[in-house]
Structure 1
Amino acid sequence: MGPLKNEKEEQSIILISDDEAESTLGSSVLLVDSLEKSALEEQKSEVVVDEESELVVTFCKQAKVMPHARYDCTSHPFERAESETCSPLGSNAEVCSQCYCYICDKLASECQSWTRPSLCHCNAHHKSRFWKEQRALALAGVLAMFNLELTDIDADLRHGGDLLIKFTQELSVEYNKYLAGERRDSRPQECFCLPKLPPGKCSVCRSRSTEVVYRYSAVFALVSRFLNQAEKESPKAAAVMFLGAAKEIAGHKDPALSWQNLRLPESLKIAVPCLLQRITTKLQRMLVLCDFPKGLYEKFVSFFQYISLPCHCFGFSNSLNVVPWDHVSLTTVLRGQNLTGQRTQKGRKTFLWEALPVIEARVERLLGRKSYKEVVRYLRAVKCSDTNGLRDLRDKIPFYLCKAGDFLDAAHSLLFPVSSLACCTACRITHHHFEVYLKIFRTGSVPAGNDILDCGLWTAAGPPLKDGVLMKQALKLLYSSALLYRNPKCWSSLIMVLGSSSQLESNGHLQPLSLQEPPPDFQKAVLAVSGGLLEELKARVSVSFCPAIFSSPLHHEACLILAVQAVQQMLFCDLPYLTSFLEIALAFGNNFWALRLLLDHLCCDEHILHGTVTLILRDLSLQKAPMLKLWQSLGPQYVGEFLCLFLTCRHKKMQSIGLCALSIITENLQGCPWAKHLSNFFHNAGLRNLPLGSTAQQEISNFMNIFEQQ
């Protein structure tokens, strides 16, 4: 009920019904005529009940006339027609002070089209389908072209529509400038025809010099700025802006009558596809990542499908036909009910085929939910025309399996391709990936993020692989890729991981183990079976590790001995390709017995020995500062053990490595505060009394004398 007036001014009462459809008069107000005033006054204390409208009147006062649509005005009669727009019907043009325009939704006195021919908003009413559509168009504005209901339009959509209107106005100005073109320099141009004529005399060259050039650069820049702005808006507003921009530029025409040698962004036929590529890529991602209401989603897609694309943009016709998340082809794949993505409908085979931006967006969303198994199922089943892009995504499948705790499947996925048209992932992983995978398999922990090279925290994902299985998979990886096999960092990673605990620190650092040297008989037994195992692994046949050795209490030591044998074979076959060896030697850590075993094997071949020593000496000469820093952190005990290993070697060439390292320390005594402790280590080890040869004996004595004379 409206505001109350003074009782002396009472003339009528306006009762506003909640439901126009149920109103007795079919209008938005119900009047109680003032002639009935006396009867009402007599019953002020009584309750009046209108049974049809379920309205209860307990007290009546004169009401102020509320704003109302023109067709509901009680002061002026209204004539209805379905779609009369030529002129006002009857007294429809007459209004009271509270009459509102049904179309504009503002006071009739402010409506610019109230009586304008071909518009005539004064004739509008809510019983006409035509006038309802006109009202929706007026209230929705530019959003009406998306076929949105008024109930669909919220603040975000309206904001996007407002920005789109402003853009189309600016775009119209720039496009008209483009259509006007610009003339080339009118000065006589040099003739390039045969026979060559003087400048200005050739009609062909003269016509070219006066040709109008149409440069799309300004339009391209304006659209690009608008798309940049759209990317910063809310999803609904951005979608409206992207779709509206696509519709506008799709209608642009190139007015040039002949071919013009223009490039991006000057050429319309190059610039428009470039802009549409950007627009469709963004929209594809939004349709996957943004939870648009189903009706709005369908209207966005339908709007794009009805855009009339020029011939140079036909490739974008079906770019927004994105499979919704609840589609059966997708849901069965994600649940593991369909492993291939292939379905048969009415005797016809269909596949789950999607554009690369859509695949990337789906993977991004699934990873955000930590649905790693669903990511793997999807990437294995989906197909894409961009085979290289899909291959790069599939290369991450082993890591996603690790995140799900399925390490054995992850190891197999590294070696076996998803598609027969591509090679295995192992062919493309780097030594960094190789090391991380070994740490994952060894410890059962994974990086906390969704990238294998994340440097953050690590978390437990499942039970680690057994040593024998880890060793088998690691060697298969090395043998499957020449880049990995010839990379010393991969071999040092393998040795370092095998010599570490299965307990991983939260920062991703391994805890090194100091393994006791196993009995000679055990070493011989491992070496006896190692040759055959390595050959079988190279041949990619099914291999069974001897459980008596690799499942024994000395399984750590057995795997390390097998790694020594594999390194030896690598040196014998691929030494010329090796760029370093010092890092392999350092990877053994405190397990000097294993390093000694390797060096003893290398000494059996003069050529291999010479090449290995040359590599180590070159490494030491090029990395003096890093080595001193490393030795500072490892301490004199480790340095002493490391140098003694080479200095006491029976082969003189191996001794040269220890002497080189000793000379580096001697030259940098000020930076080696632990050098005196190293001298004490040499004294306790009795190096002066060992038959090391004159040169080695002299260098060691000189080093120890430095500290004994202090």
Structure 2
Amino acid sequence: MGNSEEESVIVISDDEAESPLGNSVLLVEPLQNPIQEEKKTEEVVDEECELVVTFCKQGKVMPHARYDCMTHTFERAECETCSPLENNANICDQCYCYICDKLASECQDWTAPSLCHCNAHNKSTFWKDQRGLALAGVLVMFNLELTDIDADLRLGGSLLIKFVHELSVEYNKYLAGERMSPNSSECFCHPKRGPGQCNICRQCHIEVIYRYSGVFEFVTTFLNQAEKENPKAAAIMLLGAAKEITLHKDPAQNLQNLGHPASLRLAVPHLMERITTQLQRMLVLCDFPKVLYEKFISFFQALILPCHCYAFSNSLNVVPWDHGLLTTVLKGQNITGQRTQKGKKVFLWEVLPVIQARVEKMENQRHYKEIVRYLKAVKCNDTHGLRKLRDKIPFYLCKSGDFVSAVCSLLLPFNNLACCTACRITPFQFEIYLKMFRTGSVPSGNSFHDTGEWTSVGSPLKNSVLIKHALRLLYCNLSLYRNPKCWSSLIMVLGSSTTLQKSGHLNAVSLKEPPHDFQQMVLSISLALLNELKTKINVSLLPEVFSAPLQLEACLILTVQAVQQMLLSDLQYLSSFLEITLAFGNNFWALRLLLNGLCCEEHILHGAINLLLRDLNFQKMTMFNLWKKLGPQYVGELLCLYLTCRHKKMQSIGILIIHIITQNLYMCPWAKHLWSFLNTGLRRLPLGTTTDHEVAKFMAILEKM
């Protein structure tokens, strides 16, 4: 810019390195013969600077840093903050403060002693650092570039600054302590003086108690707030809080057993555990830019931890998703989770919160095969927590459509030192697995308890494979074996179709009663098969029986025999027998087979009947509403089943059912239909004197309806 305003021209330089005045303007010497307005199209060429001017007019001063001002000269120095140098305090209307990044006229520290922003320029390392500190604020301690800082990081920084100021107040209160008088009034220093403290050492008996509770509660509130913010802001807040609390010191000279959270040595590790766990999850779940990811870890690693926090030294050494060993494991190229690097074995070893976060992210992405590979390969100090995650491997295999591998992984131990997953599954999980194996469908969510729709993902298991592994599951888990819910689930699954409702409910089917010879053949071989399933790993079912057209009926007969064996050995542990009988649905022939088998053992029969009578008495209205829903055909066949049983004790169940229906007959819309069914089914059968009398009275009541 020339001295005369009429001759000034502003040209922005593209080459900052060659500009001696900075990066805001370039000085152009005025031409000896100024171009007139009428000759503005003529070209003027300066051969020395190779600049061609085709147009020239009065220049307009643009906003610029103070050190680039053409109106006032600027004196440079590396670090001068005491007072303005030369004319550095002088400004024009467009001069900006290099530190504050606003008009120099608005800078409050332009000429302030020990600050002197008027001396700032871009060729000084000191002033560059001051500019970064001013623009980045507290974020400068994270070694972030200005280009890295966005609105989320600035929010985290502003909240952190406020927290640091308020925390210092609480920490100062902690350092002041509480002055407590001793409980005893006796002077132990001078016992000869008798009761009462002596004036000489009274002050020595006053104890100062340092309670960290106030600081702990304040930091906890801040952490609660951080976990509600977006990931970048939360990370800044958590890391900043970690730095502050690790600087706190315990001023007590002697150990004070105040407990958590009053004791600093107990409270700080507790807070650090929470902070590091949350940060570990965020490093896995949040897609931080790589530069930001690395700077967060570097910041934590640079913290000087006190002795009571040494355990957290490497807690943020979380490998990124693109780590070589992790990548090969997820792709199935490395099934062991270890490799040799520079002659040493390196293992895929991660803490439990990181493992949980990785599984959670892959669940959301529906990468179920990758989850299985990862859980099989990764190692962890928390073996119990890792085992709980590995227990879901069969579920993830089902979600991927590999039901054969899923049922095998349930029964096979993960390694020689651990028992199989089947030993720990619950009755509810057992039911879900059976439904998945039978139908080839899975819950839409990532939990056994998901109530959403079910979707088909593959071919269901063959019936022979299903019954074999289902019984083995029951035999290897005593809590499942003695639970009537598990047996009823197996019976219902076998009495249902391979198609499942979207809600996850089974579609019950009525299996035609197989020939008597077929039933006897299956019963004759069932005892040996059940014993093999209890004692052997590899058991094959006869294909001519369990792969024939009547394979589902054969599986149901084998289950009936297994239920009978369970009742013979563990009836005293059974909480209900009614649930098992209801599971047969319309397959009354299979229920009759079970009841006839119980008649061979008198004490077992009496025990089972007593359980039935007890449950029916306790659940009268529940059962009546169920029968009303199922209709007269079902109720009629149920009555015929019990009333025609050759054992008189069994007939008492049918009589109780009659009494329940009679007491609520006014709510029965299908009483006439039931009379028609019973009139055909029971009239010609010898029921016995007592039973015949009860049936006749019931029929008379129905006939009047």
Q: Which amino acid aligns with 1:81?
A: A
Structure 1 SS opposite 2:340: strand
Structure 2 SS opposite 1:350: strand
- Residue in structure 2 matched with residue 403 of structure 1 by the alignment: 399
Deviations along 1:486-525, whole A, 9 cap, x unmatched? 0011001101110111111111111111111111221122
Shift of 1:18: 4.1
Do structure 1's residue 695 and structure 2's residue 690 form an aligned pair? Answer: yes
Q: Which amino acid aligns with 2:303?
A: I
- Residue in structure 2 matched with residue 96 of structure 1 by the alignment: 92
Q: Percent identity?
A: 69
Shift of 1:158: 1.3
Distance 2:192 2:518 in 1: 92
Do structure 1's residue 306 and structure 2's residue 302 form an aligned pair? Answer: yes
Do structure 1's residue 134 and structure 2's residue 130 form an aligned pair? Answer: yes
> Which runs of structure 2 are paired with 1:8-157 in the superposition (5 Å)?
10-23=6-19, 26-33=22-29, 36=32, 38-39=34-35, 43-47=39-43, 57-85=53-81, 87-116=83-112, 118-157=114-153
Pair 57,365 (structure 1): closer, same or farther in 2 beyond 3 Å: farther
Pair 569,62 (structure 1): closer, same or farther in 2 beyond 3 Å: same
Distance 1:346 1:77 in 2: 61
Unaligned runs of 5+ in 1: 2-7
> Mean alpha-carbon deviation: is it higher for 687-696 or for 29-38?
29-38
Distance 1:339 1:525 in 2: 46
**8 Å contact from structure 1 (residues 200, 206) kept in 2:** no
**8 Å contact from structure 2 (residues 455, 502) kept in 1:** yes
Distance 2:45 2:395 in 1: 74
**8 Å contact from structure 1 (residues 665, 675) kept in 2:** no
**8 Å contact from structure 1 (residues 585, 595) kept in 2:** yes
Do structure 1's residue 704 and structure 2's residue 704 form an aligned pair? Answer: no
> Which runs of structure 2 are paired with 1:208-219 in the superposition (5 Å)?
210-219=206-215
Q: Which amino acid aligns with 1:536?
A: E
**8 Å contact from structure 1 (residues 82, 129) kept in 2:** yes
Pair 561,290 (structure 1): closer, same or farther in 2 beyond 3 Å: same
> Mean alpha-carbon deviation: is it higher for 87-96 or for 607-616?
87-96
Pair 48,239 (structure 1): closer, same or farther in 2 beyond 3 Å: farther
Deviations along 1:555-613, whole A, 9 cap, x unmatched? 11111111111111111111111111111111111111111111111111112111111
Pair 188,276 (structure 1): closer, same or farther in 2 beyond 3 Å: closer
Structure 1 SS opposite 2:502: coil
Pair 431,204 (structure 1): closer, same or farther in 2 beyond 3 Å: farther
- Residue in structure 1 matched with residue 277 of structure 2 by the alignment: 281
Deviations along 1:274-315, whole A, 9 cap, x unmatched? 111111111111101111111110000000011111111111
**8 Å contact from structure 2 (residues 235, 279) kept in 1:** yes
Shift of 1:698: 0.8
Q: Which amino acid aligns with 2:514?
A: P
Distance 2:48 2:19 in 1: 9
Pair 52,477 (structure 1): closer, same or farther in 2 beyond 3 Å: farther
**8 Å contact from structure 1 (residues 101, 108) kept in 2:** yes
Unaligned runs of 5+ in 2: none
Pair 26,210 (structure 1): closer, same or farther in 2 beyond 3 Å: closer
| Aligned match for 1:230, one of 226, 230, 236 | 226
- Residue in structure 1 matched with residue 466 of structure 2 by the alignment: 470
Do structure 1's residue 432 and structure 2's residue 428 form an aligned pair? Answer: yes
Distance 1:582 1:439 in 2: 21
Do structure 1's residue 546 and structure 2's residue 542 form an aligned pair? Answer: yes
Shift of 1:138: 2.3
> Which runs of structure 2 are paired with 1:434-449 in the superposition (5 Å)?
434-449=430-445
**8 Å contact from structure 1 (residues 10, 34) kept in 2:** no
- Residue in structure 1 matched with residue 640 of structure 2 by the alignment: 644
Shift of 1:79: 3.2
Structure 2 SS opposite 1:543: coil
Pair 652,135 (structure 1): closer, same or farther in 2 beyond 3 Å: same
**8 Å contact from structure 2 (residues 485, 579) kept in 1:** yes
**8 Å contact from structure 1 (residues 613, 657) kept in 2:** yes
Distance 1:364 1:606 in 2: 54
When the two chains are superposed, the root-mean-square deviation of aligned CA atoms in Å is 2.7
Shift of 1:115: 4.6
Shift of 1:53: 8.9
> Which runs of structure 2 are paired with 1:601-612 in the superposition (5 Å)?
601-612=597-608
Shift of 1:208: 8.6
Distance 1:252 1:75 in 2: 52
- Residue in structure 2 matched with residue 5 of structure 1 by the alignment: none
Q: Which amino acid aligns with 1:558?
A: A
Pair 421,209 (structure 1): closer, same or farther in 2 beyond 3 Å: farther
- Residue in structure 2 matched with residue 296 of structure 1 by the alignment: 292
Pair 50,113 (structure 1): closer, same or farther in 2 beyond 3 Å: farther
Pair 318,697 (structure 1): closer, same or farther in 2 beyond 3 Å: same
**8 Å contact from structure 1 (residues 189, 209) kept in 2:** no
Shift of 1:237: 1.1
Structure 2 SS opposite 1:179: helix
Deviations along 1:430-481, whole A, 9 cap, x unmatched? 1111111111100000111111221211000100000000001101100110
**8 Å contact from structure 2 (residues 22, 67) kept in 1:** no
Distance 1:196 1:692 in 2: 103
> Which runs of structure 2 are paired with 1:630-641 in the superposition (5 Å)?
630-641=626-637
- Residue in structure 2 matched with residue 590 of structure 1 by the alignment: 586
Do structure 1's residue 661 and structure 2's residue 648 form an aligned pair? Answer: no
Q: Which amino acid aligns with 2:295?
A: K
- Residue in structure 2 matched with residue 386 of structure 1 by the alignment: 382
Distance 1:272 1:370 in 2: 38
Shift of 1:271: 1.6
Q: TM-score, structure 2 length as denominator? A: 0.94
Structure 2 SS opposite 1:503: strand
Distance 2:155 2:47 in 1: 45
- Residue in structure 2 matched with residue 4 of structure 1 by the alignment: none
Shift of 1:17: 2.4
Distance 2:440 2:347 in 1: 36
Distance 2:550 2:437 in 1: 19
Deviations along 1:324-343, whole A, 9 cap, x unmatched? 00001110110011112111
**8 Å contact from structure 2 (residues 21, 68) kept in 1:** no
**8 Å contact from structure 2 (residues 182, 207) kept in 1:** no
- Residue in structure 1 matched with residue 497 of structure 2 by the alignment: 501
Q: Which amino acid aligns with 2:328?
A: T
Pair 56,214 (structure 1): closer, same or farther in 2 beyond 3 Å: farther
- Residue in structure 2 matched with residue 457 of structure 1 by the alignment: 453
Structure 2 SS opposite 1:66: coil
- Residue in structure 1 matched with residue 609 of structure 2 by the alignment: 613
Distance 2:187 2:331 in 1: 68
Pair 678,192 (structure 1): closer, same or farther in 2 beyond 3 Å: farther
Structure 1 SS opposite 2:27: strand
> Mean alpha-carbon deviation: is it higher for 549-558 or for 521-530?
521-530
> Mean alpha-carbon deviation: is it higher for 118-127 or for 439-448?
118-127
Aligned residues: 702
Distance 2:201 2:432 in 1: 66
Deviations along 1:172-197, whole A, 9 cap, x unmatched? 1111121112222x486466989999
**8 Å contact from structure 1 (residues 82, 130) kept in 2:** yes
Distance 1:666 1:275 in 2: 66
Pair 126,500 (structure 1): closer, same or farther in 2 beyond 3 Å: same
Distance 1:647 1:53 in 2: 117
Pair 431,188 (structure 1): closer, same or farther in 2 beyond 3 Å: closer
Shift of 1:268: 1.6
Shift of 1:56: 6.3
